[in-house]
């Protein structure tokens, strides 16, 4: 795995994340979207407008993003609201599927419509129609070539956990409370070893979401950032990558907890990544601590082919 010296240095920093920052996110101060919105809302030749929507949602109230028969999903709620506002059926394609219980601070979904309802009016309408656990942050026009998933250059996931938490009753829907202490230096070392072009097969709970193929499917993703930030009582594992496989982040955090407990070594994580198999036992971290933090895209002129 190729490692960038600059990224290694950044991942090895003694980063800190305050409980106040975590709480401001829960109170509604979300990351600034990195979506290439256009200055003008113009219809394409076929009369359809291409729009993107940035969402925050509390995952504990939903069975994930993707529509599932008989289960409440964010996609179904969003599409119903958009279809009502646009006066025709609307399909929304997200940057990726979040599982049941996983939260989002910056999920991105793209859709097209023949409706002429202004983007700001559509945004306000969504805020009225959607339940309180889903909050539309931004909505605007994008280039016809924009796709929320395939145009994404990178995604950042944050995982929050609380070592030695004595009373997890009120926070267990938002982070992973752990009964014992964890050692931070082995965890930092393990994260540094993940940087670069990394095969995520050992971290995945199934084949890549972008492929129906099993053996032989491309499971290599570029990890640009892998770091641990700590404040008293709160740990944040942040990973930015070109993409993620199913459950990769939760499985990685589960392995990191074993590393922090001294039950696995950073080198054993590398062994698993090299072998493409989960050679050593580790729990899958619960969904409550996972947040889709941000999705980044190329500038709109690149997506438009300009």
List residues with catalytic annotation.
99
Q: CB burial class (10 A; 0-12, 13-18, 19+) of residue 61? A: middle
Contact present, 250 and 126 (Cβ < 8 Å): no
CA distance 15 to 6: 15
**Encoded tokens for 173:** 């829907």
């Amino acid at each position: 795995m190729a490692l960038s010296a600059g990224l290694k240095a950044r991942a090895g920093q003694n980063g800190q994340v305050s409980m106040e920052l975590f709480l401001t996110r829960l109170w509604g101060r979300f990351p600034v979207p990195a979506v290439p919105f256009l200055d003008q809302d113009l219809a394409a030749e076929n009369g359809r407008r291409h729009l993107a929507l940035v969402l925050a949602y509390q995952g504990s109230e939903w069975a994930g993003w993707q529509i599932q028969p008989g289960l409440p999903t964010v996609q179904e709620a969003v599409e119903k609201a958009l279809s009502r506002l646009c006066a025709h059926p609307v399909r929304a394609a997200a940057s990726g599927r979040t599982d049941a219980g996983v939260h989002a601070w910056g999920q991105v979904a793209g859709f097209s419509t023949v409706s002429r309802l202004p983007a700001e009016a559509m945004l306000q309408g969504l805020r009225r129609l959607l339940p309180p656990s889903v909050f539309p942050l931004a909505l605007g026009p994008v280039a016809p070539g924009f796709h929320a998933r395939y145009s994404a250059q990178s995604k950042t996931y944050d995982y929050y956990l609380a070592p030695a938490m004595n009373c997890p009753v009120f926070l267990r829907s938002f982070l992973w409370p752990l009964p014992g202490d964890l050692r931070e230096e082995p965890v930092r070392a393990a994260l540094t070893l993940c940087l670069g072009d990394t095969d995520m097969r050992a971290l995945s709970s199934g084949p890549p979401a972008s492929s129906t193929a099993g053996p032989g499917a491309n499971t290599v993703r570029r990890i640009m950032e892998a770091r641990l930030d700590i404040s008293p009582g709160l740990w944040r594992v942040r990973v930015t990558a070109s993409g993620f496989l199913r459950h990769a982040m939760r499985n990685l955090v589960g392995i990191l907890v074993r590393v922090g407990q001294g039950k696995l070594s950073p080198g054993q994580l590398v062994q698993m990544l090299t072998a493409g198999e989960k050679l050593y036992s580790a729990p899958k971290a619960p969904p409550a601590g996972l947040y889709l933090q941000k999705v980044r895209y190329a500038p709109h002129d690149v997506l438009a082919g300009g």
